[in-house]
Amino acid sequence: MRKQFGARPSKLELESYSKSPNWNGKIFENLEKTTMEFSLTNLRKFLHKQFCEKIGREPLKPLSILPFNAETFESENNSMKSIWYGHSAILMRLNHATILIDPMFGPDAAPIAPFKVKRFSEATLGLIDEFPEIDLVLISHDHYDHLDYESILKLKDKTKQFYVALGVKRHLVSWGINPEKITEFNWWEESLFENIKITFTPTRHFSGRGMTDRAKSLWGGWALKTEEENIWFSGDSGYGTHFAEIGNRLGPFDFAFMECGQYNENWHQIHMYPEESIQASIDAKVKNRMPVHWAGFALAQHSWKEPVERFVEKAASENLNFIVPEIGVIVTAKTTKYSKWWESH
């Protein structure tokens, strides 16, 4: 089996998953009924558009990335500083700890498919070499656009600790990560790391890297709370009642990275439309928000600019704080100034 697939769950691992309240005996389940409705009669047309009709779904030229500035990023300050690298990859400095969320820096989001899903930016794997030592890697789920084999290999020797969704540990161990460096989380489980309370929050999604491991690991988001700030990474999710519960239990949040992009009517229950992303941030009591899960790959059939355009329009109409930084720019929880940089691409 190709390394990219990761590892199938062992009998012992399946027994450990069965202790989770989210395990139904065979697979992990969402909190509310979730299906991916798809008409087989439209499959041929869908696949042709998905892999062959690229006009408007990709930038005309590669998206540039601002060079990493270690001095500014590591300057002495307890407040959050974050850098977005397209899609959902985020480098964060919080409470003097360097944290990397969903470190997919590889060039292809479909490494096992016959057709490549090419990244909008070039030479992104090399960015990992420029980063300082990583105190903690957070992984929300095991899909290829969030968990990348080549990226993990580069991070293996420069990362102190991995916090991952329940079931993801087996992939990392199969790729050579020391099991003692990996902690798995059920929804609502928490841990104190460098005086940061980190909680794994529920989402409405699914998981799997092959034909036989669908929903054999969990999926979710991450809340990170210090004495000064409360930050939330929503994770991939369809809209649901869990957002209000997250806000009630863990909010309000000073800043949130909100999933926004790669949606389609055929899988609407597992990915939000941009307007729903805004509503989810309201439900979760977010003060300042930023769209992620876009500007990385063409995984759906909307134009690559549509998610951010709809997100900005809705946020502005609701008079909400938001930020859309260029790729590689350092922002804080209070940053709201931005330019419509995507319009020139």
At residue 114, the pLDDT reads 82
Q: What is the mean pLDDT of each run of 10 residues along the chain (345 residues)?
A: 89 96 97 78 64 83 97 91 98 97 97 90 98 98 98 98 98 98 98 98 97 95 98 98 98 98 95 98 98 97 97 98 98 94 94
**C-beta separation of 88 from 145 below 8 A:** yes
At residue 115, the pLDDT reads 82
d(CA 185, CA 220): 9
pLDDT in tens, 145-167: 999 999 999 999 999 999 999 99
Domains of the chain by start residue, with CATH = 65-330 (3.60.15.10)
Q: Where are the alpha helices (DSSP H) in 122-260?
A: 127-130, 149-155, 169-174, 242-250
DSSP character for 8?
A: P
At residue 324, the pLDDT reads 98
At residue 44, the pLDDT reads 65
**C-beta separation of 284 from 244 below 8 A:** yes
In 3D, which of 230, 234, 224, 241 has the Cα closest to residue 259? 234
Please tell me whether the peptide bond between 252 and the residue prior to it is cis, using omega within 30 degrees of 0: yes
pLDDT in tens, 65-101: 999 999 999 998 889 999 999 999 999 999 999 999 9
d(CA 340, CA 338): 7
Q: Which two tokens stand for residue 91?
A: 């480098």
pTM exceeds cut of 0.85? yes
> Across-strand partners of 137?
100, 162
At residue 112, the pLDDT reads 87
**C-beta separation of 342 from 58 below 8 A:** no
Q: Which amino acid is at 307?
A: P
**C-beta separation of 93 from 81 below 8 A:** yes
d(CA 141, CA 161): 16
Task: Give the number of other Cβ atoms within 10 Å of residue 77's Cβ.
Answer: 13
Beta strands across the sheet bearing 159-165? 182-185, 159-165, 134-139, 97-101, 90-94, 81-84, 330-331
State how far Cα 306 lies from the chain centre: 19
Task: Give the number of other Cβ atoms within 10 Å of residue 336's Cβ.
Answer: 14
d(CA 262, CA 298): 7
d(CA 205, CA 187): 13
Q: Which two tokens stand for residue 135?
A: 């105190």
